[in-house]
Structure 1
Amino acid sequence: MKTDSETVRKRYDRIAPYFEVLEAVIEGLFFKRWRKRLWAKVDGYHILEVGVGTGKNFAHYPGYARITAIDFSPGMLKQAQQQRERKKVVVDLELMDVQALYFADNSFDTVVASFVFCSVPMPLKGLKELHRVCKPGGQVLLLEHVLSSRPPLAWLMHRLNPLVLRLFGANIDRNTVKNVKACPFVSVRVDEQSGDMIKLIEARK
């Protein structure tokens, strides 16, 4: 089931005010510790966060860095702006689609995204944009939920994906590791603590 950016954007705009509540349980049980591990790998001064959402990563931002964060959903970005004001976070927030970034080539030391590429209609196009704006020698760090390697579970995920996509704008059957390896990175590795369906991917340009 293919979905264009405008359709996905509208879905995220719709759920933006309730997003924190909708993900509260899974965030507390699983995602929060993975976010901490993700941001521990960030280095360099100029950082780009793609898919800032409601600002769930704000607590992990390194204090020494200049951080730019983008999202393609005005509704989600509004939530992030409110979080920025409440938590006094220093970050430049921009409305932008990862499939067509406005930044110049070789702009960022590290590019970070968490649970984003399940929602990007053309993931390879978005990943190639991350490669383009990352500096030579820099890194792209992705925390993603992906298709299970277990055939029965993978079959079920494929079957459920159209419903999940229709309701939430997210795919649950993406093979993001394979997609990253299809881009011209010098190296791609998966963090050794990654599980079957949550992968922390480290790509070096």
Structure 2
Amino acid sequence: MRTWFPKVYDVAMKPLEASRFKEIRRDLVEKAEGRVLEIGSGTGINFPYYKNARQVDAIEPNPSMSKRADEQLRHAQVPIRVHETGAEALPFADNTFDTVVATLVFCTIPVPMKALAEIQRVSKPGARLLFFEHVRMEPIFLSKTQDILNPLWQKICDGCQLNRDTLEMIKKSGIEVTKVKSYYAKLFLYIEGTNRMTERMNHDE
């Protein structure tokens, strides 16, 4: 992972974060209650918005990103612990979390379906799953443009997949999607879901 990327990422995202993204993040993160898992916490931009969580375990595989999160930790209103690990093999027991938060991270996870399975494993039955992601766009000319740009985008943006259909993956994983809101011509989606995996497993048994 590129050590310079966290600095560039913060600068590049600043205009969006200062406008609509701040409102979206606050709305999403304030819904997180109980024990919370944050996937890909990056530079900790969500940390100050946690108000209703009892405890937050945040995972971030890039040490350069998690190091830059120290400043945000000082502004946190709830206990937050950062773990330097990936999403495909979470170091937590089954049925641990009441809420899972993931914002602008599923574009970079190498094996996203495995990460979604892990999220369902470690979250409790009925747990609230909250996502804010950029996705593959619906108009064919826009999605094709994303396909063309993706190889270069991936190299520049530390593995980010510009054309990943994250909403479809979430649905295929077995998560029950309860709410979807779109922004910027459906490039960004706010997704609320519920963990039904354990409930289905118990029923099958």
> TM-score, length-normalised on structure 2?
0.87
- Say how many residue pairs are matched: 192
Amino acid at match of 1:51: G
Decide which structure has greater helix share: 1
Q: CA deviation at 1:42?
A: 2.1
Aligned match of 1:94 in 70, 78, 83?
A: 83
1:37 aligns with 2:27: yes
Q: Structure 1 vs Structure 2: percent identity of aligned residues?
A: 34
Query: In structure 2, how many angstroms separate the alpha carbons of the residues matched to 1:77 and 1:64?
Result: 20
Aligned to 2:199: none
Give the drift of 1:23. Answer: 1.2
Flag as ranges the 4+ runs of structure 1 deviating above 6 A. none
User: Which position in structure 2 is the counterpart of 1:204?
Assistant: 194
User: Which of residues 161, 183, 193 in structure 1 aligns to 2:173?
Assistant: 183
Which of these residues, 164, 174, 186, is aligned with residue 164 of structure 2?
174
Unpaired runs of 5+ in structure 1?
A: 1-9
Select the structure with the greater relative contact order (CA < 8 A; seq sep ≥ 6): 1
What secondary structure, in the 3-state scheme, does the structure 2 residue paired with 1:148 have? coil
**Is 1:143 paired with 2:132?**
yes
CA RMSD in angstroms, aligned pairs only: 1.7
Deviation at 1:70, TM superposition (A): 1.1
- Counterparts of 2:53 and 2:10 in 1: how far apart (Å)? 27
| 8 Å contact kept, 2:50–2:76 | no
**How is 1:147-158 mapped onto 2 (pairs within 5 angstroms)?**
147-158=136-147
Amino acid at match of 1:26: L
Aligned partners of 1:198, 1:18: CA distance in 2, in Å?
21
TM-score, normalization by structure 1: 0.87
**Does residue 21 of structure 1 match 2:11?**
yes
Q: Which amino acid aligns with 2:42?
A: G
User: What SS does structure 2 have at the residue aligned with 1:99?
Assistant: coil
Q: Does the 8 Å CA contact 1:190/1:199 hold for their aligned counterparts?
A: no
